[in-house]
Structure 1
Amino acid sequence: MEMELLLTGVVIGTLSGFFGIGGGTILVPVLIMMGYDIKSAVGISVMQMVFSSLYGSWINHRKGFLNLREGMVIGFGGFAGALGSGWLVSAVDEIVLESMFLAVIGFALYRFFRAPEYTEPESDGHDLSPLVLAGTGAVIGLFSISMGIGGSILLTPILVGLLHYPLKKAVSAGLFFVVFSSVSGFISLSLAGQVDYLHGFIVGIASLAGVYGGIHLASLTGHKKHKKALVVLYVVILAMMAKKVLGV
């Protein structure tokens, strides 16, 4: 089992760096297929996201892809919202969590299909107030961490589809958001006794090996190809979770 978790961690880290996701969107369904229940999968996933998001955001900042000011506003909102994840996971049935996960992926896929094409570089400014950004982060933080995902799979489509962010900057902002939501969620889930520390550490450490390569690959990929790859990712995850929830 340890070797499988190590290999899974490397793959998740690569996807995390390339797509700007915490990795839970892939890791949770994979862990469920490996035999973990949804709540154990969520705990392992959140611990892994702490590793990959911190390292990946540091690399993105060095490459100039990350807007720290806007990322901090959204991130602190996500941190506050994620503090309630331990309560939500403990209070809600597994089938409800799985259905919520499915709904989030479906919404993200819809937003990406509807988002207009933008070419780099684009203005990364917006007219939303810090309060609106923080509130958006709080809602995403609460529900995403409760489903074992960092929130970027929901945040990135919103940044691209609604706020006209360039894709690569939105991806970097999404991964930075995961730093706040995953750390907060890790604290909350730990207090609720919902974290498998050993397996989470194994996957988290292994994921670092893939993060660097994933970010480097993303920097070499054009906007249209990067967006198409994200859509494919969402379709695959949606299919995996639909199969689990519907029992087919």
Structure 2
Amino acid sequence: MVDGFSVILGDMSLVWAVAIFVAIGVGVGCISGFFGIGGGTILVPILLNLGFDIKSAIGISVLQMFMGALFGSYVNYKNKKLVLNDGIVVGIGGLVGASFSGFIVSIMPSIALKFVVLFMLMVAIIKFFQADVKNDNPKEISKFIMFGVGVVVGAVAISAGIGGALFLTPIFVGFLKMDIKKAISIGLFFVIFSSFSGLISLANAGLVDYKSGFTIGIGSIIGVYFGVKFGHKVDKNIQKRLALGLYIIMFILMVKNILF
């Protein structure tokens, strides 16, 4: 595997290369902590534009996601924003769902998987747009339903090559009337499970650039702290609008990917 630092070094010093990686990690971590997502959909395109190949970019991204999500979830837990039992139930569901990904990928054409993801994003956006995030009496959701959501998201998302947290908040808030702050914290916690599973698989295949991944991951830990803290303080409606903007961008990018 090509050393990630050699990809961007050129004539610049190692210090500047490290600074660039840390700065990228801080930016991705802020977005990840605020929206409760892994950040891979943001980091991978950045790394590709820096000259990384897709396999190296994914390996670095998964390591960054694991580090950022682990620390961000710790911050959420310390601030009493993460209900650990609920997060574990959803995360285990995700692991179970992800175990079917090999079978799903083997029987479904890639274009069909993309359309499934596109449909799920469209429905999630509509329901999330309709959701009343100011609801002071959010519904209690059974552990069985939360486990089921984790299974479905894990199966579809991992089969399509994404972490899955992008789907969780719209589903929990739009369909199941969960408090948006709680949904975002569970989404970030879910990333720990999905990224850990992916990290093991990619590491066994020799596709993880640990030096680059840890450097960006350190930046991500710094960024996710501030992203999580800001997410705790911001008004729920503002957080909803910003999240909707992110989901719409993802929807547009998916349409572009299918058409072009």
Question: TM-score w.r.t. structure 2 length?
Answer: 0.79
Match of 1:200 in 2: 213
The SS at the match of 1:117 is: coil
Match of 1:169 in 2: 182
Deviations 1:50-103 (A, max 9, x none): 011110111101111111121111111112333455787899998777766655
Asked if structure 1 preserves the Cα contact closer than 8 Å seen for 2:124 and 2:174, the reply is no
The SS at the match of 1:232 is: helix
Cα 1:103–1:49 shift into 2, 3 Å: farther
Q: Residue 243 of structure 1: CA displacement? A: 3.9
Cα 1:110–1:120 shift into 2, 3 Å: closer
Match of 1:123 in 2: 138
Q: How does 1:24-103 map to 2 (within 5 A)?
A: 24-83=40-99
- Distance (whole Å) between structure 2 residues aligned to residue 194 and residue 103 of structure 1: 31
Identity of aligned residues (%): 44
Q: Residue 11 of structure 1: CA displacement? A: 0.5
For the pair 1:228 / 2:241, whether they are aligned, the reply is yes
- Distance (whole Å) between structure 1 residues aligned to residue 163 and residue 94 of structure 2: 9
Asked if structure 2 preserves the Cα contact closer than 8 Å seen for 1:83 and 1:184, the reply is no
Match of 2:126 in 1: 110
Asked if structure 1 preserves the Cα contact closer than 8 Å seen for 2:133 and 2:240, the reply is no
Asked if structure 2 preserves the Cα contact closer than 8 Å seen for 1:145 and 1:182, the reply is no
Match of 2:198 in 1: 185
Aligned length: 244
For the pair 1:6 / 2:19, whether they are aligned, the reply is no
Match of 1:16 in 2: 32
- Specify the code of the residue in structure 1 equivalent to 2:71: Y
Deviations 1:184-210 (A, max 9, x none): 221123334443433322222211110
Q: Residue 169 of structure 1: CA displacement? A: 0.8
- Distance (whole Å) between structure 2 residues aligned to residue 180 and residue 210 of structure 1: 20
- Distance (whole Å) between structure 2 residues aligned to residue 62 and residue 178 of structure 1: 18
